[in-house]
Amino acid sequence: MRRPLALNALTGALPLGTVQRMRPGLRRPVLVLLPVAAFLLGAGVLGAIWLHGRPAARTAAPRPVAAPPTVAPSAAPAGLARTPGPLPLTAAVTPPTTPPVSTIQVKVARNDTLDRIFRRLQLRLEDLASLRNLPGLKRMLDRLRPGEALTLVHRDGALMGLTRRLSVEETLNVTRAADGFQAKVLKAPIEMRTRTVSATIDSSLFEAMTAAGAHDQTALALADIFAWDIDFVLDIQPGDAFTVSYEEIYENGKYLQDGPILSARFVNQGREYLAVRYVGPDGRADYYTPDGHPLRKAFLRAPLEFTRVSSPFSLHRRHPILNLIRAHKGVDYAAPIGTPVRAAGDGRVLFAGRRGGYGNVLEIDHSRGITTVYGHLSRFAHGVRAGRHVSQGEVVAYVGMTGLATGPHLHYEYRVNGVFKNPQTVQLPEARPIDAELRADFESKTQPLLEALASATGPVLVAR
């Protein structure tokens, strides 16, 4: 059988003469395409032979075509596994994030209130209002002590919790619940340990107390006990000595702080002073001499704690600014601006304002013709104004240098019926002794404390 001319040409079997007899216009393309066509035809034939010779078991199943996402796929033929199609595309959704909880430790500054603290920390004031509306909580939150620590927990300004130590034994704990705030007062078990220390003063009361193993807190308490008899600014001399019996407070075996002084002995310039703590039936504690006379006089000897006298009482002093010889009818206590000034005794404020060379001045009437004056103040304590009653030891103002003053100090005067007296030497009025009906209770409670003080042993320590 004769093959067609096209097949002969593609397989290269076309006679050369046939090609030569073609028209010249067709001869060149045919000569170029004949080898290419022959190669492609041969490759196709070989592929068909290879596919025809494969075993039936190795024949691949047709690849399924995924149905459109909106059309349900048809049932797969029996015996064939369905190949899952591509999942429909969906928009990625980011879950909302919850702001983290933050814990803040706050040290209460002077004149700080919770309202000021909340505003400073940008906490929600409505949460503070909710706290103050809880029964009994307003009293626990309104009076903050300068220097105390508060713990506040919040989430993005919303209060979650508050912790405040009310006393050595009690801690206020406020938490946020689903239905509002809940407050609890937690009581921690504490242990009181009695300790007695002795020391001789070489340079300062604080150094001697530290050398004895006690703390500044007990040094301040000791000075407060004897403040009516001893001026700890002027009267303390090297060689003075003390013995103090006091309590130390522990919580779960850990030291917290020094507790109250139980009994004390102080020798100042050769004179001995004794004090013992007595808690009356009403729960009020105070310090007395062994024979029942209170150490608390009607007036403090000095209205400042541990400062320096820059100018004593004098009738012939040259004024540092006016350069004139004029009487200095008071005592000047040099102290930094802002040092608290305490009322020398119970009384009523006569005047609080600006007055000539005194600058900001405070006058207190203590009855019985006694008046005290406090000059050159930087400012008055909150609420101190004419007509208000103040208590002995209450902070009524702060040291400054207003008026005729060359530096920060307190000018303090003590007047009796209008006559100026030297505050450092004037005889202060006595307070009432222990009541006769309490005498037996007083002696039974204080005698063991005095005996423990007298039997204190160990070498006397000297502060260097």
What average pLDDT does this structure show over 386-412? 91
Identify the pLDDT of residue 13.
47
Tell whether the model's pLDDT for residue 333 goes beyond 70.
yes
What pTM value is reported for the model?
0.54
Contact 107/147 with Cβ under 8 angstroms? yes
Which contacts qualify for 254-260: CB closer than 8 Å, 24 or more apart? 256/168, 256/190, 257/168, 257/215, 257/217, 258/214, 258/215, 258/217, 258/218, 258/221, 259/168, 259/192, 260/221, 260/285
What average pLDDT does this structure show over 158-175? 90
Q: Which residue has the higher pLDDT, 260 or 319?
A: 260
Tell whether the model's pLDDT for residue 461 goes beyond 60.
no
The whole-angstrom separation of Cα 62 and Cα 408 is 101
| Least confident span in 82-91, 120-129, 160-169 | 82-91
Identify the pLDDT of residue 143.
82
The whole-angstrom separation of Cα 244 and Cα 266 is 8
Identify the pLDDT of residue 407.
86
- Give phi and psi for 163, each to the nearest 5: -130, 130
Mean pLDDT, the chain, rounded, equals 79
Confidence of residue 94 (pLDDT cuts 50, 70, 90): low
Degrees to nearest 5, angle at CA 377 with 374 and 119: 130
Identify the pLDDT of residue 154.
93
Distance, C-alpha 164 to centroid of its chain:
10
Tell whether the model's pLDDT for residue 207 goes beyond 70.
yes
Identify the pLDDT of residue 80.
42
Listed in order, strand segments (DSSP E) in 108-157 are: 149-155
pLDDT tens digits for range 138-157: 888 888 888 899 999 999 99
Identify the pLDDT of residue 267.
93
Distance, C-alpha 354 to centroid of its chain:
36
pLDDT tens digits for range 447-457: 999 888 887 74
What average pLDDT does this structure show over 199-228? 90
The whole-angstrom separation of Cα 199 and Cα 287 is 21
Identify the pLDDT of residue 75.
47
